[in-house]
């Protein structure tokens, strides 16, 4: 990553996390990249802005398409780019093809990488749904999901790094890292530079709710 200016390296690390819910397919001459997939067009536009600055590519080269997925009840969108240049760079960090084989790239700013990963594949319990009676229970947890072939190295990497910052987490069913408890969530929220508007706000509201509740999980 030494070829990038310091300010761009942090953003690149974020993109390497965000693409965990994108794709880098095996392509012919036309190199296709899905940088992120999400119901939030607002977040995808922010990811596009970041990528435009990191790779010095005009913003109008990035396109957002509606993703047709019968399993997903809410509309979902994909942020796509066709660029041999960016494809070549990303291929240095992730092997094109099955995401289940992707190992953690060497990142100089791992907190930014975790932020992108959480924004793409993470989430927390919705306190408002509990307060409005849509759900009957509330647990203070946030989690990151990741499908991986074999031992889940990406989640183990995140777990190890979080532990270094005093954040306890657990991995369940080899595909979900879960952070529970008020203090762990507060630390996570304070040190991980999240960018996703809805997911950041959900976590903020959950932490506000913890102040009024004596329960813990």
**CATH code for the domain defined by 6-99:** 3.10.28.10
Is 0.85 surpassed by the pTM of this model?
Answer: yes
- CATH fold of 115-210: Endonuclease I-creI (3.10.28)
The structural domains of the chain, with segments of one domain joined by +, span 6-99, 115-210
Q: Quick one: which H or E segment has residue 81? A: strand 76-82
Find the helix packing angle between 182-191 and 197-210, rounded to 10°: 140
pLDDT in tens, 137-153: 556 889 999 999 999 99
Structure token digits, residue 125: 């319990």
Looking at residue 138, what is its pLDDT? 59
Mean pLDDT of 158-165: 97
Rounded Cα distance between 124 and 126, Å, is 6
Among candidate residues 212, 217, 126, 213, the one with its CA nearest the CA of residue 169: 217
115-210 matches 6-99 in CATH topology: yes
């Amino acid at each position: 990553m030494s070829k990038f200016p310091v300010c761009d390296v942090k953003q690149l690390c974020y993109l390497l996390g965000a693409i965990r819910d994108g794709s880098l397919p095996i392509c012919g001459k036309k190199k296709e990249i899905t940088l992120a997939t999400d119901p939030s067009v607002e977040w995808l536009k922010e990811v596009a802005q970041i990528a435009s600055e990191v790779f010095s590519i005009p913003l109008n080269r990035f396109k957002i398409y509606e993703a047709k997925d019968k399993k997903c009840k809410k509309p979902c969108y994909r942020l796509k780019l066709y660029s041999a240049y960016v494809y070549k760079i990303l291929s240095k960090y992730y092997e094109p093809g099955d995401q289940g084989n992707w190992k953690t790239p060497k990142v100089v700013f791992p907190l930014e990488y975790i932020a992108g990963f959480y924004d793409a594949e993470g989430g927390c319990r919705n306190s408002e749904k509990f307060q409005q009676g849509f759900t009957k229970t509330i647990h203070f947890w946030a989690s990151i999901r990741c499908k991986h072939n074999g031992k889940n190295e990406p989640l183990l990497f995140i777990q190890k790094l979080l532990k270094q910052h005093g954040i306890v987490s657990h991995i369940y069913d080899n595909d979900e890292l879960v952070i529970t408890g008020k203090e762990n969530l507060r630390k996570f929220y304070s040190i991980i530079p999240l960018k996703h508007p809805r997911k950041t706000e959900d976590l903020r509201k959950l932490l506000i709710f913890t102040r009024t509740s004596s329960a813990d999980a």
